[in-house]
Structure 1
């Protein structure tokens, strides 16, 4: 077999190309099938994981039923119904998800009815547990029996769950094995077929490239021959007449010797008729010989002498017929003189070629300047073992300056790691090495930070000789838009979730009612308000009317009529009866629009049942409150007059007896008399403090600007006697102005200062420090309703006996005392009055202390 002829045949390359394409298509199809199998296996594994998670939720559901906290909630008569309903809803949701997940698995699907039956049994047993919680000890046996039944049911549920979990584990193992087999087979098959296709392409490319080099060598050789020959070489194409006979020839090619012999440039004669350029061919029948030569496809030649411009030349013409014309070669016997002109012509052609080459180079540079991509070529730098450790910059266009600020001339022949210091950390170096070692184009994305600004780029690396050519395109804006799109999608998803959750929390639902057909679309929570699962039945104007309370259907019909006629309605709400038979009050608000050319009513309904009932409860409570206030006012009148009147008489008679009869009373009688006097004085103080506490109102119409410095001075004046007697020292910073009631704030400071003096240490003068600072509400760690953005923090610190931190809240309660009356006088109302004054001013007060370490009272006032 002639292998040389086969290797040089065009059919061989066509067959090789078809074979390579077939192998490539087969490789792609096999890869697609393997990837598809891998994808299906991974989806089945993911499906099994969802079943795992749902079964885990079922386990948590069973654990919750055994928890003490859940049992206490279930046995609480006030919330037991809601707790059981929530628990039942949770169980149904788990069953629904499980039913959907195992629908395609027959063995698992058979377990669902039994599981559903056990869960319904469990719910019934829990419902039976509720009435037993309020009964006495005689029902303990019944309670224990129900709890034992619940435990048995939970054990059966767990058994079914464990069986399903065991079967899912077996399915998981099978799917993992299938996934492992496809995971290995897909890349192995793709790699093998890919290498085979690549080998065929490389061999074909090598042969085509080798033949192209030979063809280029032959072409260059022929051009050189034609340019350097001393002979005229012309190529003529026939011109046909009306009768399809040849009437002349057109000059398709003429070499430079035409100028040497006939003083005619080839470019001037190409495209013209032979008879016009060389009329002497008509004289001796030479044109007819050329026509006959073409027609017969036989080689011919003839000799003749030609006189041109007074110079005679002998020419030998050889006519060679070709497929589409004839090749005419004319030999000149006077070659000695024409050789010089041919050499000159050759030099001129070389200059034109050099000029053309320079033009091409300039054209390429202009292309690099005009494109927006960065193009660079890097040469490999290898160590002694031939491994690439860096690159050298051989070429880069000027677009790089806009990104890095480097000039092209500055970075040529530099190391790539010097120009781009992060080439190793960003992974770009590995991409470039991979492109060279695999001889495949590598696409990658990278970022570059310059002057604090980060830009993203998409690059393609292609091997060229022992180097790599990189084309880079900026994609910063594309990245930003993709990120924005993802963020908008996430926001939309979150907003939809928030909207659904807000409907559930606010007990609202939304609807779209098409007025032309009566069809309607309602939200998920609207279905729940009606007592149905979402999308459980189609809603129309008539089907929804069945839910309306019979006594309110006239109002509902009015809604439909007014909306149809006027586009709005004056009806604000009506009652409905849910699927469970519960009556609910709904508030309705709708809007008329044109949607897709259809008259449409958009609206929102809200379940205001609780509000209606609370309003009714509030009305009853208001009546009770008014009655309680009347009784309190009556008490104030009694306390302020009727109680104090006999007390004043007691104190008057005590003073008279003390003035006139004390010397007649025994020592023991005097002791009793003093106790009566002290008790009357304490009773007087207690009544005054109670009246003060009850008269501190929560209304704020009389708030005004109050300078706390003036308030403090008045309080100190009122306490000047006890301050002087106890050698008390009061110091501190300037206090702010606040909005409040002056006499209440004066009583606040008086109570806190007198309290600090009262509980002083023995043999140590009291020292009281008062400080103030203005802080933002965010910086206040204490938890209370903060009506203002800023508060004045006022601290009153003393060096008294202190108290235990466990009493820090107790001391602000009415009649709460930490010491015996025999130790320290007082009624136990003073600090309660302080707390009520602070709360009346929208503030907060608390105390910190340790026994023997003094006390610190801190309160916040809006400011």
Structure 2
């Protein structure tokens, strides 16, 4: 076999070359991008200078209107009016230039429109000033003065807009100059870095390829050594295709020495030959289907084969593995295992036969003990005023009593037992007789009888009859020692049977026995109970059991149930039954056929799997509901992240434009209302962002890492440094532990709790926050919390703020729940809900305690690493 061709494919080197080319192209594109960014920055700086120059031309233009010489020029040029027309044309040209240059700046575009209107207004006022010069001499001075005041106001408004435009362009100029300087300095450095990076990649790729080549050579030598020493047949086949390009056979490319050891075939004689023709384990198309399946599906396939080699049956376990352009087939000799299985099966059958014989012997012994009688007596109960049995009256005694006691049956008839046989009270016989009557259950007992110094043992059975008891007893003195071992064995069988019945009850299973020749069936008591009946309440048979099968499952039951019976095969089957009470249950049956005394019998087990199936259905339903809720949550996230925020952004943009252009015209009341609109927009944006943050805390997140909470605390302090400085807040912390979690969620947890403590500070106290730590056992957490660790980190955030009423300790963790008006304290009411969700996402627990006016304590439990 050519291992080098299989394992040292040139594809590896082609892939490495493609990666190197991609990296080179990436480096070149990055350099080109940096140059284009530098060029764009330069163009933006030039564009800003052009806008700045246009604004300067505008300043020069409207400044002419303030010049008395320009006004006199307009007056002197009245007949032709060429100077005024030139002035108007100049203003229009400047505004067109500004409009073209600022069309990509929405803020400047918004200012161009009122500026054009003001220039038009200024032109009109200049015309009115000329007209005033031709009025009567008495009004000319007053009219000119009035027009000059109007021109001054217009020029002031133009100058205000111009100044704001100039400020905006100066800011843009500063930003673009910085960006240009940054790109200008970064471009050569990036070119150098990318060139060095590309060179490094080529060098690393070269050494990597060279090292891989050395490893492949070592692997090839190692693999050949393994194949020459293995105890398994290892062959490599390549497919032979038909006209439709489908594999129809395989060509043997490699075969190791084990082919000779197990099959007696020389490996070299098999090479380049058809598998069907050369390999004894694959003689036709049906026997290579597993090989074709593995090749087509690119999956491993395992199957077993039997083979007669030198008149000896052998078993092989075959493993087919796709490899390169063919398949690698490993044949392991499993003959010893199969022979061991066969021996185990034979032994199991012998044990089952012996167990059935023991059960039959137990039933036979029980019948013999009940049927054999020697002495028969019948006693009638004698009761006191309370109905309690105090003695018995002898009504019948057979003749077998005479040889034992010497009593004549007729002489002791109608006598009291206490007078004839007083020893029954000392020997405990009286208690057995009472139990037989009161419990209506037969009582078996043994009693000794001493006559003339000789002790004989009698075994008796007491059975209730009416309000009396019938006792049958026999002499077991000679049998006692002989049957002691049998009795002990019987007791053991009774105990085992009791354990089996209890096990069936606990596992909700029942057992059955079916003689297929006589159609006689026996089922366990628990099987009767599973069908809603008492023990032996109906005569079991296959036809009777069909009546319990659900009508919809009956056809399938007969199809699956009778087929294994006809073929004597073991088959597991799940179906529905209807109990005597009409309850629907799911049963799973598994039977095994055994041969007993040349008779085929089935012994099987039936299990009630109703709860399991119902639980699976409930779980499926829960999963579907969860998927639906997740879909709704994703839909909400999309709406909240775009559809809800887009109108707010537009409101904010137009509000800023109104503020820039119309703020000076607002009354005090209007300014107050406008300020409330801006605040409401900011609050709505904060609500949406917090709600998104709450919904994006994913409990299924598994990318936990080891986190030092001391580092988290330091970062949070740095983020909140401004608010801590303004409020003079002090944070005192114990040495905090390391936990498993998501870093940004831990930072958000600490940020929310500390910022809350600062926000809800006591006006008469300097804020003081204590972060206390201790390790506690899991038993300290509530019982309903699912514990994931034996030890937990307990972290307490204690402040001296305004606190809250303890009755709201649960409410504060709900979304949008606030204990104060938004005019008192800012916020959205989601912060603590986010905290609790973060803690639960880390398999922890969180709660709060507080006292109004004193302070609050938030306790967090996180599992130990």
For this structure pair, what is the TM-score category when the shorter chain's length is used for normalisation?
Answer: 0.3 to 0.5
